[in-house]
Amino acid sequence: MFKKLFNRNKEDKKKGNEEKNIVNERVREDKLDREIDNKEELEIKEEPKLNFFDKLKAGLDKTRKGMTDKIDAILKSYGKVDEELFDDLEEILVTADVGINTTMEIIDRLKIRIKEEKVTEPEMVKGLLKKEIKEIMKESGEKNSLNIEPSPAVILVVGVNGAGKTTTIGKLSYNLKNEGKKVIIAAGDTFRAAAIEQLEEWSNRSETDFISHSEGSDPAAVIYDGIQAAKARKSDVLICDTAGRLHNKKNLMNELNKIFRVVDGEYPEARKEVLLVLDATTGQNAISQAKVFKEVCDITGVVLTKLDGTAKGGVVIALQSELGLPVKLIGVGEKIDDLQEFNVEDFVEAIFNN
Whichever domain contains 258, its CATH number is: 3.40.50.300
Whether 157 contacts 169, CB under 8 Å: yes
The conformation of residue 282, written as its DSSP 8-state character, comes to G
Distance CA 350, CA 354 (A): 8
Domain presence at residue 304 = no
The pLDDT of residue 6 is 43
Helix (H/G/I), strand (E/B), else coil: 118: coil
Domain presence at residue 243 = yes
The predicted-structure confidence for 274-284, as pLDDT tens digits, reads as follows 999 999 888 88
Structural domain containing residue 203: 153-299
Those residues with Cβ within 8 angstroms of residue 242's Cβ, 6 or more apart along the chain or in another chain: 156, 157, 158, 188, 189, 219, 255, 256, 259
The predicted-structure confidence for 120-149, as pLDDT tens digits, reads as follows 999 999 999 999 999 998 886 556 789 999
Domain presence at residue 173 = yes
Strands 183-186 and 209-211: parallel
Whether 267 contacts 230, CB under 8 Å: yes
In total, how many domains does the chain have?
Answer: 1
Cβ of 250: how many Cβ atoms within 10 Å?
8
Domain presence at residue 110 = no
Q: Which residue has the higher pLDDT, 247 or 255?
A: 255
Q: Give the dihedral of Cα atoms 324, 328, 334, 336; nearest 10 deg.
A: -160
Distance CA 353, CA 330 (A): 18
Domain presence at residue 248 = yes
Domain presence at residue 204 = yes
The answer, yes or no, to whether residue 103 has pLDDT greater than 80, is: yes
Distance CA 53, CA 128 (A): 22
Domain presence at residue 277 = yes
Domain presence at residue 122 = no
The predicted-structure confidence for 16-71, as pLDDT tens digits, reads as follows 555 545 445 544 544 444 443 444 343 333 444 566 678 788 878 888 888 889 99
The answer, yes or no, to whether residue 307 has pLDDT greater than 90, is: no
The pLDDT of residue 265 is 96
Helix (H/G/I), strand (E/B), else coil: 342: coil
CA distances from 241 to 188, 219, 310 (A): 5, 9, 25
The predicted-structure confidence for 178-208, as pLDDT tens digits, reads as follows 999 999 999 998 887 688 999 999 999 989 9
The pLDDT of residue 36 is 39
The conformation of residue 123, written as its DSSP 8-state character, comes to G
